[in-house]
Structures are given as structure tokens and as C-alpha cells.
Amino acid sequence: MHGPDGVGDLLTAPPPAEPEAAPGRRRRRGRGFVALVIVGALVLVCASGAMAYYGYKISLDEKIERIEDPFADIDEAARPEPAPVEGTAAPVNILALGSDSRISAGDPSAWELGAQRTDAILLLHLSGDRKSAAVISIPRDSWVDIPGFGEGKINSAFSFGGPGLMVQTVEALTGVRIDHFAVSDFESFTTLTDTLGGVEITVPDGAGGSVEQTMTGQEALEFTRERYALANGDFGRVQRQQAWMRAIASKATENKSDLLKMSKFLEAAVRAVAVDPDLTIDRMLELAVSAKDLSTSDITFLTAPYSGTGRSDDGQSIVLLDRDALDPLMAAVARDELPVYLAEQPGGIDTLPAVVE
């Protein structure tokens, strides 16, 4: 579609101006990596002229599940400062939670004190220049300070106080200001995978080499749930989750001409996530304009540095974060200088390999 309201014009126009913030409230600019996958497909479908842009946009927006604003009750003075803006766009940081069941990990209407834990905790960073992105997994058993509750496993922050406390906990741990919050369940990712005709994940072939294995949604789900047979346990599971995300992102942008598959993927994608109220389709399209040249090869997947595992004083099995490595890494994220920092590190940062055990 190339009329005055079409996405074809959006792709060549400057990003729309941000609305003025309400008095006394800082403006939040953020869309997120999950949104990037969705809007990439949205642009491909709408720009083809195969369907009316506004009608389809409204239809998708109505299907996205919204959660209550997790930032509303957080003391602004206690939050990290936003990264400095250089150029025309601000960097974006989104806290994303994943679970085998969204009801158990991310539905605030079903939240009960002590009843919910999360299986995956991801800090998603999109650079201000829109040339790079990072997905940083924080192990769910990481032993951290939870504001108001003392030390505990990081995934218990959601159990104790829902999305708001989870945001506070991650901001306190990392010094990175969170712009958006999202929740997805891995069961929904099975549907997302199947709408793409399966995804390809490279695994060892048992003979010292590797093989690209096509997995259905159920096979990919089982692949990411396994941890007891892995030499590195939960840390291996984290990398398998990341590999699945990488495979979905790659497959979603692989065939731009299959409009039926792309539209089905979009329908599944918007149903797979629950997001904060500010992450509208309009905001996602703004992101698509500014990050349209970003590809999956520009995305770095890594795990927050850890020194090993241990036991808490009350006998829990926990992950010990390596603060000597974690703190400078997160400072680079907060300053929007992550690519430079990673390029200067000779090793020691646990990044996702091409072949996943």
C-alpha cells in the first residue's frame, strides 16, 4: 500500500514525534525486541498492499493482551536515569518474562502472593542508533536483593510483588532503566513456531560436528524444557531458550513473499505476549521505521555473568552472579555502549554459540 496512510510511506518518513509527557511524569520511549519481530512481519505484510493498513493495524492492536502499568507505583527518584540520547532515537530496554504458563507467571489478574515464579528473565536492549540489539538472560535462581524483602531468588520478586517489584529488582541489580514490560508463555511459542512451518536450530550431530535440525513447536518446547540431561543444567536451558528465539526471528523474516504465512504469524505473535499499556501497535510501527535495517545477525544473545552455584543460608540451590563481570557489562548497557564493550572483551562473557548443546 502506497497511499498517504500506507506503511510504504511510513518506511520513508521520519519517525513520528513523541507525544508530550504528562506533567510530573517522565516520558517512556520503548518498544522492545519481541515487538521488533512482530512489527518486522507487520511491515512486510502491510507494505505489500495485500490488506488495508489501518483496519489490519486496529485488528492486531485489539488482540494484544494488556497488563496494568507496572511502572505506576515505582518511586521515580529511585529509578536509574535513562541513557543519554545521541542522534534522533533513544535506546530501548524491555524486561521480558517467560514461563511454561502465562497464567502462572504473567497474568496480573491471577496473581497471588507466593504463587507465581518465572522460568525465563530477559533484558532486551535496542541501541539508540538502531544498529544492534541484545538479549541478556538472567538465570532465574540468581541470588539478589529484592527491594523490601531482602535477599532471594530473582524469580521470586514476581511472586512477592508482581510486575512492579520485578522491574524494581532488575533495575536495582543492573542499574539499567526499564522502558517496557512483557510476558510470554512457551506454550504460545509452539503455535508461533508452527505457523512458520517449524524452525531450524543447529545442534551437535554426535560425531563432533553439527546438524541443522528442523523442529515443530512441540519439539522446540521439549528441547527448551530439558535441563537434567545437560552438562550445565539450567544454564544450558537458558541457551536453548535463546536459540529458539533466534530461530523464530530468523524464520519470521525469511520469506517476505508468503503473505498468508506472514499474516498467520502476526495473529499468533500478538496473542503470544502480554505487554504494558504503552506498547501499542502505533509504537511498534515507530520502532519498525527506525530499526528497519536491523537483522537477526545484529542481535547478540548472552547470559548474565555468574561465578557458579551454591546454597543460601536456608538451603536453597542458587546461582551466584559474578558482580565483577556483571556490573561493567550492565553499565555498558545503561550507557548504550554495549557493542563497544563486548568488542573489547577477549572472553568471559557467555554468548549464545551457533551450535547449541
Concatenating the DSSP letter of every residue in 201-252 gives: EEEE-SSSSEEEEEE-HHHHHHHHH--TTSTTHHHHHHHHHHHHHHHHHHHH
Q: Does residue 246 lie in a domain region?
A: yes
Burial class of residue 346 (count of CB atoms within 10 Å of its CB; 0-12, 13-18, 19+) = exposed
Cβ atoms 329, 349 nearer than 8 A? yes
Q: Does residue 154 lie in a domain region?
A: yes
Can you give the pLDDT at residue 40? 44
Task: Tell me the CA distances in angstroms from 284 to 96, 280, 289, 290, one per residue in order.
Answer: 16, 6, 9, 10
- DSSP β-bridge partners for residue 273: 184
Q: Does residue 356 lie in a domain region?
A: no
- DSSP β-bridge partners for residue 182: 96, 275
What is the maximum alpha-carbon separation in the chain?
Answer: 65
Q: Which amino acid makes up residue 191?
A: T
Model confidence, pTM: 0.81
Cβ atoms 37, 48 nearer than 8 A? no
Q: Does residue 221 lie in a domain region?
A: yes
Q: Does residue 130 lie in a domain region?
A: yes
* Domain extent for 255: 7-11+29-351
Q: Does residue 357 lie in a domain region?
A: no
Task: Report the sign of the C-alpha dihedral through residues 281, 284, 289, 294, in that order.
Answer: negative
Q: pLDDT tens per residue, the chain (357 residues)?
A: 333 333 333 333 333 343 343 333 333 323 334 444 554 444 444 444 434 456 667 777 787 888 889 999 999 999 999 988 877 789 989 898 876 554 444 444 554 544 456 778 999 898 999 888 898 999 999 999 999 999 999 999 988 888 899 999 999 999 999 998 888 776 777 888 898 889 999 998 888 899 999 999 999 888 887 766 776 777 888 888 888 888 887 887 776 566 677 677 777 777 777 888 887 777 766 766 677 777 778 888 999 999 999 999 999 999 999 999 999 999 999 999 999 999 988 677 888 888 888
Considering just the CA atoms, what is the radius of gyration of the chain in Å? 20
Task: Count structural domains, the chain.
Answer: 1
Q: Does residue 234 lie in a domain region?
A: yes
Q: Does residue 17 lie in a domain region?
A: no
How many whole angstroms separate alpha carbon 227 and alpha carbon 102? 20
| 3-class SS string, 290-312 | HCCCCCHHHEEEEECCEEEEEEC
Grid coordinates in use for 145?
Answer: 536483593
Cβ atoms 83, 90 nearer than 8 A? yes
Can you give the pLDDT at residue 250? 81
Query: Residue 281's domain is classified under what CATH number?
Result: 3.40.630.190
